[in-house]
Amino acid sequence: MSRGTSSPEDSLASPPITILAMPKPFKGHIDTIQRNAIASWTKLQPRPEIILFGNEEGVAECARELGLVHIPEVARNRNGTPLLADIFANAERRASHDLFAYVNADIILPGEFTGGVEKALRTFPKFIAVGRRTNLEVREPLEFSEGWEEKLKERVHSEGWLESYTSIDCFVFPRGTYEQVPPLAIGRAWRSVVHQVRAQERTAGCRSDGLCCHHSSAS
Protein backbone atom coordinates (compact mmCIF):
# COMPACT_ATOMS: atom_id res chain seq x y z
CA MET A 1 0.00 0.00 0.00
CA SER A 2 1.38 3.41 -0.93
CA ARG A 3 1.91 6.18 1.58
CA GLY A 4 -0.89 8.14 -0.05
CA THR A 5 -3.49 5.47 0.77
CA SER A 6 -2.28 4.33 4.21
CA SER A 7 -4.36 5.06 7.29
CA PRO A 8 -3.46 5.61 10.98
CA GLU A 9 -4.63 2.05 11.61
CA ASP A 10 -2.19 0.76 9.00
CA SER A 11 0.71 2.60 10.60
CA LEU A 12 -0.15 1.10 13.99
CA ALA A 13 -0.45 -2.37 12.52
CA SER A 14 3.02 -2.12 10.98
CA PRO A 15 5.00 0.26 13.19
CA PRO A 16 8.29 1.39 11.63
CA ILE A 17 11.05 0.76 14.16
CA THR A 18 14.71 1.71 14.46
CA ILE A 19 16.67 -0.99 16.29
CA LEU A 20 19.76 0.14 18.20
CA ALA A 21 22.55 -2.24 19.23
CA MET A 22 26.08 -2.15 20.57
CA PRO A 23 27.64 -5.50 19.58
CA LYS A 24 30.63 -7.14 21.21
CA PRO A 25 33.65 -7.97 19.04
CA PHE A 26 32.71 -10.59 16.44
CA LYS A 27 35.08 -13.30 17.65
CA GLY A 28 34.62 -17.05 18.05
CA HIS A 29 31.16 -18.23 19.06
CA ILE A 30 30.10 -14.64 19.80
CA ASP A 31 30.45 -14.01 16.07
CA THR A 32 27.91 -16.75 15.30
CA ILE A 33 25.52 -15.67 18.05
CA GLN A 34 25.49 -12.02 17.02
CA ARG A 35 25.21 -12.70 13.29
CA ASN A 36 22.25 -15.00 13.94
CA ALA A 37 20.55 -12.39 16.08
CA ILE A 38 21.12 -9.38 13.87
CA ALA A 39 20.14 -11.30 10.75
CA SER A 40 16.85 -12.24 12.45
CA TRP A 41 16.08 -8.53 12.91
CA THR A 42 16.29 -7.99 9.16
CA LYS A 43 13.47 -10.55 8.71
CA LEU A 44 10.95 -8.56 10.75
CA GLN A 45 8.06 -7.03 8.82
CA PRO A 46 8.18 -4.25 8.02
CA ARG A 47 11.97 -4.45 7.93
CA PRO A 48 13.30 -2.12 10.63
CA GLU A 49 16.10 0.36 10.29
CA ILE A 50 19.03 -1.14 12.22
CA ILE A 51 21.86 0.97 13.66
CA LEU A 52 24.98 -0.76 14.95
CA PHE A 53 27.20 1.28 17.23
CA GLY A 54 30.90 0.99 18.03
CA ASN A 55 34.20 0.21 16.35
CA GLU A 56 34.64 -3.26 17.85
CA GLU A 57 36.03 -5.94 15.57
CA GLY A 58 33.57 -7.06 12.91
CA VAL A 59 30.85 -4.47 13.53
CA ALA A 60 31.54 -2.47 10.37
CA GLU A 61 31.70 -5.65 8.28
CA CYS A 62 28.39 -6.94 9.66
CA ALA A 63 26.68 -3.62 8.97
CA ARG A 64 28.03 -3.54 5.44
CA GLU A 65 27.04 -7.14 4.66
CA LEU A 66 23.46 -6.70 5.90
CA GLY A 67 22.92 -3.16 4.66
CA LEU A 68 22.70 -1.57 8.11
CA VAL A 69 23.62 1.85 9.47
CA HIS A 70 26.93 1.96 11.32
CA ILE A 71 27.96 4.66 13.82
CA PRO A 72 31.50 3.79 14.93
CA GLU A 73 32.19 6.54 17.45
CA VAL A 74 30.48 6.19 20.84
CA ALA A 75 31.31 8.04 24.06
CA ARG A 76 32.77 5.77 26.74
CA ASN A 77 33.62 5.94 30.41
CA ARG A 78 37.17 5.82 31.76
CA ASN A 79 37.06 2.00 31.59
CA GLY A 80 36.21 2.07 27.91
CA THR A 81 32.60 0.92 28.38
CA PRO A 82 30.09 2.60 26.00
CA LEU A 83 27.65 5.08 27.51
CA LEU A 84 23.95 4.55 26.91
CA ALA A 85 23.27 8.30 26.88
CA ASP A 86 25.44 8.80 23.81
CA ILE A 87 23.78 5.92 21.96
CA PHE A 88 20.34 7.41 22.62
CA ALA A 89 21.51 10.90 21.65
CA ASN A 90 22.89 9.55 18.36
CA ALA A 91 19.63 7.75 17.74
CA GLU A 92 17.65 10.96 18.22
CA ARG A 93 19.82 12.65 15.58
CA ARG A 94 20.28 9.83 13.08
CA ALA A 95 17.28 7.49 13.24
CA SER A 96 14.70 7.61 10.47
CA HIS A 97 11.77 6.44 12.61
CA ASP A 98 10.09 7.70 15.77
CA LEU A 99 10.02 4.36 17.58
CA PHE A 100 13.24 2.91 18.98
CA ALA A 101 14.15 -0.56 20.22
CA TYR A 102 17.40 -1.04 22.10
CA VAL A 103 18.28 -4.73 21.77
CA ASN A 104 21.27 -6.73 22.97
CA ALA A 105 23.14 -8.04 19.95
CA ASP A 106 22.73 -11.71 20.94
CA ILE A 107 18.92 -11.59 20.97
CA ILE A 108 16.93 -13.26 18.19
CA LEU A 109 13.67 -11.43 17.54
CA PRO A 110 10.77 -13.48 16.12
CA GLY A 111 7.93 -12.06 14.05
CA GLU A 112 5.73 -11.63 17.13
CA PHE A 113 8.01 -8.83 18.24
CA THR A 114 6.31 -6.29 15.97
CA GLY A 115 2.92 -7.50 17.19
CA GLY A 116 3.96 -6.76 20.76
CA VAL A 117 5.05 -3.28 19.74
CA GLU A 118 1.70 -2.73 18.02
CA LYS A 119 -0.08 -3.77 21.22
CA ALA A 120 1.88 -1.23 23.26
CA LEU A 121 1.16 1.52 20.72
CA ARG A 122 -2.56 0.80 20.81
CA THR A 123 -2.67 0.72 24.62
CA PHE A 124 -0.45 3.61 25.75
CA PRO A 125 0.23 7.09 24.32
CA LYS A 126 3.68 7.00 25.93
CA PHE A 127 5.33 3.81 27.05
CA ILE A 128 8.41 1.69 27.65
CA ALA A 129 7.84 -1.92 26.64
CA VAL A 130 10.41 -4.50 27.76
CA GLY A 131 11.03 -8.05 26.62
CA ARG A 132 11.92 -10.94 28.92
CA ARG A 133 14.26 -13.40 27.28
CA THR A 134 14.18 -17.14 26.73
CA ASN A 135 17.59 -18.82 26.66
CA LEU A 136 18.48 -21.31 23.94
CA GLU A 137 21.86 -22.81 23.12
CA VAL A 138 22.53 -22.16 19.43
CA ARG A 139 26.05 -22.97 18.31
CA GLU A 140 25.60 -23.03 14.54
CA PRO A 141 24.75 -20.35 11.96
CA LEU A 142 21.00 -20.23 11.36
CA GLU A 143 19.69 -20.74 7.85
CA PHE A 144 16.99 -18.15 7.21
CA SER A 145 15.15 -20.18 4.61
CA GLU A 146 11.42 -20.77 4.50
CA GLY A 147 10.12 -22.09 7.81
CA TRP A 148 13.19 -21.07 9.81
CA GLU A 149 11.15 -19.37 12.52
CA GLU A 150 8.83 -22.34 13.07
CA LYS A 151 11.82 -24.65 13.43
CA LEU A 152 13.44 -22.30 15.93
CA LYS A 153 10.21 -22.08 17.95
CA GLU A 154 10.13 -25.87 18.19
CA ARG A 155 13.65 -25.80 19.63
CA VAL A 156 12.70 -23.04 22.05
CA HIS A 157 9.72 -25.03 23.32
CA SER A 158 11.72 -28.24 23.75
CA GLU A 159 15.16 -26.93 24.79
CA GLY A 160 14.76 -23.31 25.91
CA TRP A 161 14.25 -21.95 29.39
CA LEU A 162 12.64 -18.68 30.45
CA GLU A 163 14.93 -16.40 32.42
CA SER A 164 13.91 -14.44 35.51
CA TYR A 165 11.86 -11.26 35.25
CA THR A 166 15.06 -9.21 35.64
CA SER A 167 16.48 -10.59 32.37
CA ILE A 168 15.54 -7.70 30.13
CA ASP A 169 17.51 -7.64 26.89
CA CYS A 170 15.34 -5.36 24.79
CA PHE A 171 13.11 -2.39 25.41
CA VAL A 172 11.02 -0.26 23.06
CA PHE A 173 10.20 3.43 23.49
CA PRO A 174 9.13 6.43 21.40
CA ARG A 175 11.52 9.12 20.24
CA GLY A 176 12.08 11.76 22.92
CA THR A 177 11.54 9.41 25.86
CA TYR A 178 15.14 9.68 27.05
CA GLU A 179 15.93 13.38 26.83
CA GLN A 180 18.23 13.31 29.84
CA VAL A 181 20.12 10.13 30.67
CA PRO A 182 22.85 9.93 33.35
CA PRO A 183 26.27 8.63 32.27
CA LEU A 184 25.37 4.97 32.74
CA ALA A 185 27.50 2.31 31.08
CA ILE A 186 26.11 -0.45 28.90
CA GLY A 187 25.47 -3.59 30.94
CA ARG A 188 24.60 -1.77 34.14
CA ALA A 189 21.96 0.67 32.99
CA TRP A 190 18.80 -1.25 32.14
CA ARG A 191 16.65 -1.06 35.23
CA SER A 192 18.08 2.27 36.40
CA VAL A 193 17.14 4.02 33.16
CA VAL A 194 13.68 2.44 32.98
CA HIS A 195 12.94 3.45 36.57
CA GLN A 196 14.29 6.94 35.96
CA VAL A 197 11.86 7.64 33.15
CA ARG A 198 8.87 6.02 34.86
CA ALA A 199 9.57 8.11 37.95
CA GLN A 200 9.04 11.23 35.82
CA GLU A 201 5.42 10.03 35.33
CA ARG A 202 5.61 10.69 31.62
CA THR A 203 5.30 7.09 30.49
CA ALA A 204 3.61 3.81 31.27
CA GLY A 205 5.82 0.79 31.76
CA CYS A 206 4.67 -2.57 30.45
CA ARG A 207 6.10 -6.02 29.98
CA SER A 208 4.29 -7.39 26.95
CA ASP A 209 4.02 -11.12 26.29
CA GLY A 210 4.26 -10.17 22.64
CA LEU A 211 7.78 -8.82 22.99
CA CYS A 212 9.36 -12.24 22.61
CA CYS A 213 13.12 -12.49 22.46
CA HIS A 214 15.39 -15.51 22.31
CA HIS A 215 18.87 -15.33 23.82
CA SER A 216 21.51 -17.51 22.19
CA SER A 217 23.60 -18.98 25.00
CA ALA A 218 27.37 -19.05 24.55
CA SER A 219 27.86 -21.78 27.14
Measured CA angle at 22 (ends 18, 28), to 5 deg: 125
CA distances from 74 to 16, 44, 57 (A): 24, 26, 14
Tell me the mean pLDDT in the region 93-105.
95
Q: Is the pLDDT of residue 209 over 50?
A: no
- Integer Cα distance of 7 and 92 in angstroms: 25
Q: Is the pLDDT of residue 9 over 90?
A: no
Instruction: Return all residues near 6 (Cβ < 8 A) that are at least 6 apart.
Output: none
**What CATH number is given for 3-217 in this structure?**
3.90.550.10
Q: Is the pLDDT of residue 155 over 70?
A: yes
- In the chain, domain spans: 3-217
Instruction: Return all residues near 105 (Cβ < 8 A) that are at least 6 apart.
Output: 21, 22, 23, 24, 34, 37, 38, 52
Q: Please, which contacts does 72-79 make with residues 24 or more away whose CB atoms are closer than 8 Å?
A: 74/22, 77/183, 77/185, 79/185
Tell me, what's the pLDDT at 130? Answer: 82
What pTM, to 2 d.p., does this model score?
Answer: 0.84
Tell me, what's the pLDDT at 8? Answer: 40
Tell me the mean pLDDT in the region 168-179.
86
Q: Return the top range by mean pLDDT from 7-16, 59-68, 201-210.
A: 59-68
Tell me which DSSP letter residue 51 carries: E
